[in-house]
Amino acid sequence: MFYMDYGRSSERQKQGACTFSPSLSSKYSPQQLVAPAHPPQAADSRSSSYSAGSVGSDSGASPFDICLSGNKCGIKLNSSLLEINRAKRRDRELSKDAPFQYLRPGMVLLKRFIKPNDQVKIVKVCQQLGVGSGGFYRPGYRDGAMLRLWMMCLGKNWDPDSHSYGDTRPFDGAQPPTIPEEFRKYVQDAIQASHELLKQNIGAVNAVDELPLMSPDICLVNFYNSSGRLGLHQDKDESMSSLDKGLPVVSFSLGDTTEFLYGDVRDEEKVSKVALESGDVLIFGGKSRLIFHGVSNMKPNTAPKWLTDETSLRPGRLNLTFRQY
């Protein structure tokens, strides 16, 4: 991953998105996306565990809790279980309307692929891992610029300063938690589903060529509050072999909707954008493995109510990107 640096750019031709559901693409309006020189606001006034820390992090602070304090991801009582189940069923129905979007060669979006109960499970597991050793922290750079998100690495640590992976976090020596087996299973399911959908929808003869199989040993978990964002960058800190094979990045979105920006050059005026909603899985590999991508314009209060009710997830968005080193 390469958040701040311009890095090498891809010469690939930009392809138009082909959707099998109402298209969400529209023209991207230019914006400043790189990390700000000042720390971003906390998710809400109750919640800040941020403090300006030592190099590259808020390492002096306790881990950030992605769920609101006091609820510890338990069920809140303001919605009945009956209502919650009804809402989940409704959302499952919705997912049938727009299951698949082919964004460009090597890049697909599986709409609301993660089932409601699994979304709840993922948030709860991330919350628990996130408050332990190696949990959520505010990444930053040596020059003091901070990313507008909280991060937890699973499997291997990604260091924003050196743009490299390691076994421990440089600022506190913590070892990243391992990737839960269930998460790996969701990734395999998503890749398999994308192959089926590539065959069905675009007649791909060999879907594995378009989106190679991968077995994740890294997962970066980002939490964005309503002012969270991530500048255009390429994910290219994985091994040369992984990048050469185009092993995909598999990205899960949970909570509030956001705009995902993507394109062949690091130019905010030339990127496409697509909305990522709770339960969506975005996969980019093969010819799209080195796309520039980023996140802007969070849409507050768009998380499914059942998700926030059942988990007390803070206002914002949780994103998990799985990769194979």
Residue ranges at the known binding site for Fe cation: 233, 235, 293
Beta bridge partners of 233: 293
Q: C-beta of 27: minimal distance to ligand AKG in Å?
A: 20
Q: Which tokens go with 159?
A: 């260091």
DSSP conformational letter for 112: T
Interface of this chain with ligand AKG, residues 260 to 279, rule: CB under 6 A:
260
Q: Residue 230 Cβ, how far from ligand AKG at the closest point, in Å?
A: 6
Task: Report how many residues bind ligand AKG under the rule CB under 6 A.
Answer: 11
3-state SS assignment for residue 30: coil
84, 103, 274, 295: which one contacts ligand AKG (CB under 6 A)? 295
The residue of the chain with the least Cβ separation from ligand AKG equals 319
Q: Which residues are annotated as a binding site?
A: 233, 235, 293
Q: Number of helices and strands (H, E) in the chain?
A: 6, 15
- Cα-based torsion angle of the residue sequence 254, 260, 264, 270 in order, rounded to the nearest 10 degrees: 180
Distance CA 258, CA 225 (A): 11
3-state helix, strand, coil in the chain (%, to 5): 25, 25, 50
Instruction: Kindly state whether residue 222 participates in binding ligand AKG, applying the rule CB under 6 A.
Output: yes
Question: What's the closest the beta carbon of residue 73 comes to ligand AKG, in angstroms?
Answer: 21
Q: Which member of 275, 293, 311, 312 binds ligand AKG (CB under 6 A)?
A: 293
For residues 9-28, which are near ligand AKG according to CB under 6 A?
none
Closest distance to ligand AKG from the beta carbon of 22 (Å): 20
Q: Which of 47, 194, 308, 319 binds ligand AKG (CB under 6 A)?
A: 319
Told to check if 220 binds ligand AKG by CB under 6 A, we report yes
For residues 68 and 125, what is the distance between their CA atoms, to the nearest angstrom? 15
Q: Is 272 helix (H, G, I), strand (E, B) or coil?
A: strand
Q: 231-260: which residues touch ligand AKG (CB under 6 A)?
A: 235, 251, 260
Provide the minimum distance between the beta carbon of 69 and ligand AKG in the complex, in angstroms, as a whole number.
24
Q: What span, in angstroms and rounded, lies between the C-alpha atoms of 42 and 321?
A: 22
Instruction: Please identify which residue in 194, 242, 321, 324 interacts with ligand AKG, judged by CB under 6 A.
Output: 321
Q: How many CB atoms lie within 10 A of CB 193?
A: 17
CB of 149 to ligand AKG, least distance (A): 8
Rg (CA), the chain: 19
* Interacting residues toward ligand AKG by CB under 6 A: 1, 220, 222, 230, 235, 251, 260, 293, 295, 319, 321
